Amino acid sequence: MATQRTIVREMIPWIASKVGDAGVCPTDPEGRQRCIEHIDLACDNLMKRLDSEGMMFNWYVPVSNKCIALPQDCREARQIVMNGVPLIQRDQWYLGKICNGYWGNGCGCGPGECLDLGDFYIPHPLPKQRGIRIALVALNSADADVQCDVQVLNEYGHPVKETLTLLPDQAPTIMDAVAYDVTFFLKPKTVGPVALQLHYDDGQRIQWCEYLPHTEEGLFRRKSIPNRFYGCNIARVVGKLRYDRITSEDQIMPINDRIGMGYAVAAISAWNRGDTVAYNENMLLGLNEIKKQMEDGDSAANIRQVKIRTDFANPSQAGGGRCWV
């Protein structure tokens, strides 16, 4: 939210009085743990309502088979640029509505487009062939004995869920079921990344993706790229960070406005006791404080982006003529 970041333990004394009905002691271990739980819920609710500098990031994403997969710590793209061309994002049913193909720019008229395909547990589909099993590898031996839940679709299209225990020295833990798709992945926070690999019957293993140490439910959002950009191997994505749950005093706060966080924590306390009116009022006050902080850090000299309404998919001359922007 601002240039100066804040650690959770530095925020606890400021919001301890807002936890519960009468506050908690910020030096008591049990009180500090309740503060962390309230801060976690408060930040989760604030982040889904806000876009700001502290929550936006730039990624350079490789293209594979006319598709990009946003990194697991990217919740959604606000802008995608391919070969210097900004893409308009459509949902996967859009082309069916206007009955056009997807060969050139996307819809065949106007700027480049991409289709949002939703969230998946692996970045790209698995090869559709027999003899592939999922293997998990702990890249840090300190994560040995950690248990991960994986669900796949087998060769008959049936879901099969297994719990795999990670091994030391980067040894693979291999599922029994054959995999044609991965439909669920869950792990606790780990010391190092956990690699998902494809294990073939002949013993060959291929690295498919990695789940970051702070990742619990691994999700990748896929975007389909039109044929116009065939040959482009990198997309620049400006996106919003996926919320990383706060479970420790040593984590960095995504929001550092103390007054705003105090209101948000009070909103969580109201939610716990079922007071919907107080919840909405305190959350709104918290959002207002944070937005004021954003305005305070935004120079009046910054020129805003121009927004133009066109008549695309609604050919009315009163709607702006035929200007494609």
Using CB atoms within 10 Å of the CB of residue 211, give its burial: 0 to 12 exposed, 13 to 18 middle, 19+ buried.
buried
The 3-state secondary structure of the chain reads: CCCCCCEHHHHHHHHHHHCCCCCCCCCCHHHHHHHHHHHHHHHHHHHCCCCCHHHEEEEEEEEECCEEECCCCEEEEEEEEECCEEEEEEECCHHHHHCCCCCCCCCCCCCCEEEEEEEECCCCCCCCCCCEEEEEEECCHHHCCCEEEEEEECCCCCEEEEEEECCCCCCCEECCCCCCEEEEEECCCCCCCEEEEEEECCCCEEEEEEECCCCCECCEEEEECCHHHCCCCEEEEEEEECCCCCCCCCCECCCCCHHHHHHHHHHHHHHHCCCHHHHHHHHHHHHHHHHHHHHHCCCCCCCCCCCCCCCCCCCCHHHCCCCCC
% pLDDT > 90, the chain: 41
Lowest mean pLDDT: which of 80-84, 148-152, 229-233?
Answer: 229-233
Considering the chain, what is the average pLDDT of its residues?
83
Query: For residue 325, what pLDDT band results from cuts at 50, 70 and 90?
Result: very low
Q: What is the distance between the alpha carbons of residues 279 and 265, in angstroms, rounded to a whole number?
A: 9
Q: Mean of the pLDDT values across residues 42-54?
A: 81
Q: Would you say residue 11 has pLDDT above 90?
A: yes
Query: What are the backbone dihedrals phi and psi of residue 210, each rounded to the nearest 5 degrees, phi first?
Result: -130, 145
pLDDT band at 171 (very low <50, low <70, confident <90, very high): very high
pLDDT of 105 higher than 80 = no
Q: What pLDDT, in 10s, does the model give residues 189-198?
A: 899 999 999 9
pLDDT tens per residue, range 266-277: 999 999 999 999
pLDDT of residue 62: 87
Distance, CA of 240 to CA of 149 (rounded, Å): 27
d(CA 191, CA 88): 38
Asked if residue 281 has pLDDT above 60, the reply is yes
pTM greater than the 0.75 cutoff = no
Query: Phi and psi at residue 19, in whole multiples of 5°?
Result: -85, 125
Arithmetic mean of pLDDT, 11-22: 91
Closest by CA to 49, choosing from 272, 300, 263, is 263
**Mean pLDDT on 57-81:** 86
